Structure 1
Amino acid sequence: MKPFKIPESVLVVIHTPDLDVLLLERADHPGFWQSVTGSKDRADEPLVETCVREVAEETGIVIGSADVPLANLHDWQLGNRYEIYPVWRHRYAPGVTSNLEHVFGLTVPPGVAITLAPREHLRYRWLPYAAAADACFSPSNAEAILQLPRLRPTTSR
């Protein structure tokens, strides 16, 4: 039996310096577009480690590589507590109904290679940030993307 998910996760808004945002279409719910998300693997897992792991698993982007240094990952110091959609509550311990999501931004170079995890995502697309926010099924994801012009670093490597 698979262990229950920890109700603490990261949301990583992956974007280019020109504010094009990467969105992924969920394999388990076609038509649902989102940024990279994922729960901690263990309660004491540092959030940065969760981001690095989830981005690599879902997109193939290696944070800490020459193209995407760790310095390009930014903790936006935003947290969202939201109700877990009923369709996904079976993944959590009985009685768990909410999740705490920590928001990060990741600047990547235009044209960075994307390799999807086929069990998780069907397709990806790059959209200007406002269009990406409109395309997200999750209100917290859309709100995070709309913060991009304000929260992105002024210099990117």
Structure 2
Amino acid sequence: MQPAKPYKIPESVLVVIHTPDLRVLLIERADHPGFWQSVTGSRDTADEPLAETARREVLEETGIDIAAAGGELRDWGLANVYDIYPHWRHRYAPGVTRNTEHVFGLQLPEALTPTLAPREHLSWVWLPWHEAADRCFSPSNAEAVLQLPRFHAASSLP
């Protein structure tokens, strides 16, 4: 008998992948076509560092190795606490209804072609940041993309 799949940890990352000219990579969910998002994912273990969760999820969902691509991952110091959509609550322990999502930005030197995990995502697109925000199905993801110019400007200061 196969062991039961462990419950997801209700602490996750949201990684806004972008270029220096603020084009944003969005990926379309396979389990909900038409739902576009940035890279997201939960910690594998309670003690997994959030930056490691972000690196792992970017690699798993897009095939992009941040270090090899010359990317710069930044913790934006933002956390969103939100209700887990009812159709995804079965992935969490009974009674868990809220998730804490930590926001990161990942600047790549240029728009790369991702290699998607076909069981997770159907397609991808690079869009100007304001268009990307409009396409995100998740309000917290849209808000993070809208914050991109502010965080990008702050990271460019001497």
Q: TM-score range by the shorter chain?
A: over 0.9
Residues 112-123 of structure 1 correspond to what in structure 2 (within 5 A)?
A: 112-123=112-123
CA distance in structure 2 between the aligned counterparts of 1:101 and 1:136, rounded to whole angstroms: 15
One of 53, 61, 66 as aligned partner of 1:50: 53
Partner of residue 132, structure 1: 132
Whole-angstrom CA distance in 1 between matches of 2:70 and 2:103? 18
Whether 1:106 and 2:109 are equivalent positions in the alignment is no
Distance 1:112 1:98 in 2: 33
Partner Cα separation in structure 2 for residue 30 and residue 5 of structure 1: 22
Moved over 2 A (4+): none
Separation (CA, whole Å) in 1 of partners of 2:135 and 2:21: 18
Secondary structure of residue in 2 paired with 1:56: helix
Partner Cα separation in structure 2 for residue 111 and residue 151 of structure 1: 19
Q: For each residue in 1:58-80, what CA deviation from the matched residue of structure 2 results, as whole angstroms up to 9, or x when unmatched?
A: 00100121x324xx000000000
CA displacement at 1:113 relative to structure 2? 2.9
Partners of 2:58 and 2:70 in 1: CA distance: 11
Task: Give 5+ residue unaligned stretches, structure 2.
Answer: none
TM-score, normalising length: structure 2: 0.94
How many residue pairs are counted as aligned between the two chains? 152
Which residue pairs with 2:146 in the alignment?
A: 146
- Whole-Å separation in 2 of the counterparts to 1:21 and 1:101: 19
TM-score with structure 1 setting the length: 0.94
Residues in 2 aligned to 1:54 and 1:117: alpha-carbon distance in whole angstroms: 11
What letter corresponds to residue 63 of structure 1 in structure 2? I
> Post-superposition shift, 1:34?
0.2
Percent identity reads: 70
Question: Is the aligned partner of 1:6 residue 2:9?
Answer: yes
Shift of 1:112: 1.7
Distance 1:26 1:111 in 2: 20
Give secondary structure in 2 for the equivalent of 1:147.
helix
Structure 1: unaligned runs, 5 residues or longer: none
Q: Distance in 2 between matches of 1:102 and 1:82?
A: 11
Partner of 2:84: 84
